């Protein structure tokens, strides 16, 4: 498949979805249902972005606790998405603007059922030519590499995940309105302080589309 328009790739959590509250609540729910002692929220917040499997180590859980925790986390997440999931301000308007000149795609560490449910409930499902959820055994840079090989866009830019974009030789716009920090953004080609700033930055980095 060869795309005729440039493609804008987005991370989901922390770039389009303001999902920190969801992440914290689903993990707290899973730990409570396990009978596990509470874990500081500052530690839990570090789990928003990495893969679900990586969250086991971040939280300091044992390998034996991992399978039960992951099952309970996913169950809690899917229960909470309808009432807790939300977008950052200006995201629908930003996507509507970009769709005039670009094809849009998502590459995420979220599970397929989580990403599909979130897109449907936020009304964004029709905005993207591809919504790539986590691929077992692959990192997000690897998933992005596969999408680039499949779509073969004439030009592309990554929004949100600096590491994934840089590893695939794409210009990256850091979503500074999300959860990252200055050290994580140092290799980005541009910094967006809000979703509303993204379209102009995309057009600059892709020579207007």
Do residues 199 and 188 make contact, with C-beta atoms less than 8 angstroms apart? no
Which 3-state string (H, E, C) describes 44-61? HHHHCCCCHHHHHHHCCC
The whole-number pLDDT of residue 3 equals 72
The CATH T-level fold of domain 7-18+86-205 is Rossmann fold (3.40.50)
- Taking the C-alpha atoms of residue 207 and residue 111, their distance in angstroms, rounded to an integer, is 34
The domain locations on the chain are 7-18+86-205, 20-84
Cβ partners under 8 Å of residue 149, min gap 6: none
What pLDDT shows up at residue 49? 83
Q: ∠157-110-145 over CA atoms, to 5°?
A: 40
Phi-psi region of 161 (alpha: psi -120 to 50; beta: other; left: phi over 0): beta
The pLDDT score that the predictor gives to residue 1 is 67
What integer pLDDT is reported at residue 4 of this predicted model?
83
Return the structure tokens found at 133. Answer: 């959820």
- Determine the pLDDT at residue 209: 63
Spans in the chain with pLDDT lower than 70: 1-2, 208-209
Q: Alpha-carbon distance 98 to 7, whole Å? A: 10
pTM reported for the whole predicted model: 0.92
Closest CA to 184 of 9, 38, 15, 2: 15
Question: DSSP per residue over 60-118, as a string?
Answer: T--TTTHHHHHHHHHHHHHHHHHHH--BPTTHHHHHHHHTTT-EEEEE-SS-HHHHHHH
The domain made up of 20-84 has a fold known as DNA polymerase; domain 1 (1.10.150)
């Amino acid at each position: 498949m060869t795309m005729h328009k440039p493609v804008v790739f987005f991370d989901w959590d922390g770039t389009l979805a303001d999902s920190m509250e969801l992440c914290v609540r689903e993990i707290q729910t899973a730990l409570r249902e396990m009978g596990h002692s509470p874990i500081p929220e500052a530690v839990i917040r570090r789990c928003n972005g990495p893969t679900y499997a990586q969250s086991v180590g971040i939280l300091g859980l044992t390998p034996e606790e991992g399978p039960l925790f992951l099952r309970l986390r996913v169950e809690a997440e899917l229960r909470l998405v309808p009432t807790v999931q939300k977008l950052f301000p200006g995201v629908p308007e930003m996507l509507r603007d970009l769709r005039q000149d670009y094809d849009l795609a998502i590459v995420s560490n979220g599970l397929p059922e989580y990403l599909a449910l979130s897109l449907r409930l936020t009304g964004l499902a029709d905005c993207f030519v591809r919504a790539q959820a986590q691929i077992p055994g692959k990192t997000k840079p690897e998933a992005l590499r596969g999408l680039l090989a499949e779509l073969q866009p004439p030009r592309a830019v990554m929004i949100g995940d600096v590491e994934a974009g840089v590893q695939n030789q794409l210009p990256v716009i850091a979503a500074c309105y999300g959860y990252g920090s200055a050290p994580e953004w140092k290799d980005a080609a541009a910094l967006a302080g809000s979703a509303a700033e993204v379209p102009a930055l995309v057009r600059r980095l892709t020579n207007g589309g």
